[in-house]
Amino acid sequence: MPEGAYRWFVYAELVLAAVTFVALCFIVAPYGGRHGRTGWGPTVPARVGWVVMEAPASILFLVFYLLGEHRGELVPLLFLLLWQAHYVQRAFIYPLLMRSGSRMPVAVMLLAILFNLLNAWVNARWISEYGSYPVAWLADPRFWIGVVLFVVGYVLNVSSDRILRKLRGDGSSGYRIPHGGGFRLVSSPNYLGEIVEWTGWAIATWSLAGASFALYTIANLAPRAMANHRWYRDSFPDYPADRRALLPYVL
Ligand code: NDP
């Protein structure tokens, strides 16, 4: 870890993960339709909110990456590719495909932008400036274990979001019980996929920067997965009893 301000940004992200986890155990963040509530100030269509809050994670990451001394090296470039594979789809494809008429509080959107700014700085600066990833890192099992987890998580995340979209293929706007894919085992396989992805990123980069994002993702999505699960059980008397919230057979 370098001396100077950078390390404090990483520590800040770790503290934020802990604060987020505790806060979200008491409040369900109102950025989606089913947990939406009044009293959070002005709102924007969810589709707009997703683009505005997630675009910085792609664009600023690229800008911060390009500031780094190692920007032209193979392994950092591969990390850039993984990051952009996720965030280009999250910021520019997912919002266009989503079938949701829900609205997002501007406050939630602004908080997400601030987090994405911090997270992009912490991770991009690590992979292209402060970290060291010579070509020999490609022979390290941590790199490949991490990349495989990232890809598996990505596929689970995207395919689960697709199953949810298909539930509204007839143009309806209500909620149904999702079936198939990861939904056979858990209520929020999209969140599980996201968590597996960033755990893979943490392992492949073997860095505190990556670990802080993985921990933040767990802190953010685990309480939300529990809230989704409770909501399904309360809303559908015939909800599959053996389906868990987030971790197959466990939680
Ligand atoms: P949800 O699973 O709550 O909703 C995803 C979409 O599917 C929404 O459009 C929602 O509609 C719709 N939907 C959900 N359940 C049903 C159902 N039973 N029947 C019909 N439609 C349904 O996901 P989030 O909105 O919380 O998150 C979206 C994506 O963003 C996920 O892939 C998640 O992993 C990712 N994410 C990542 C975070 C991170 O920290 N890295 C943080 C937050 C999200 P509606 O809007 O009307 O409810």
pLDDT digits (tens, 9 = 90+) for 126-180: 999 999 999 999 999 999 999 999 999 999 999 999 999 999 988 888 899 999 9
Three-state SS for 133?
A: coil
- pTM beyond 0.90, yes or no: yes
Asked if residues 182 and 156 have their Cβ atoms less than 8 Å apart, the reply is yes
Domain boundaries, the chain: 1-233
Q: ipTM score here?
A: 0.97
> How far does the centroid of ligand 1 lie from the alpha carbon of residue 193, in Å?
12
> How far does the centroid of ligand 1 lie from the alpha carbon of residue 199, in Å?
20
Q: Which structure tokens are listed for 124?
A: 């991009």
What percent of the chain clears pLDDT 90, i.e. is strictly above it?
Answer: 86
Which residues, judged by CB distance below 6 Å to any ligand atom, belong to the binding site of ligand 1? 32-34, 46, 98, 100, 102, 157, 161, 164, 167-168, 175-176, 178, 190-191, 194, 217, 220-221
Report the atom number in ligand 1 closest to the C-alpha of 158: 32
For 6-20, give the DSSP string: HHHHHHHHHHHHHHH
AA letter at 5: A
> How far does the centroid of ligand 1 lie from the alpha carbon of residue 77, in Å?
30
pLDDT of residue 205: 98
DSSP tag of 247: S
The CB-side HSE value for 52 (13 A sphere, CA atoms) comes to 15
Residue 28 has pLDDT above 80, yes or no: no
> How far does the centroid of ligand 1 lie from the alpha carbon of residue 207, in Å?
29
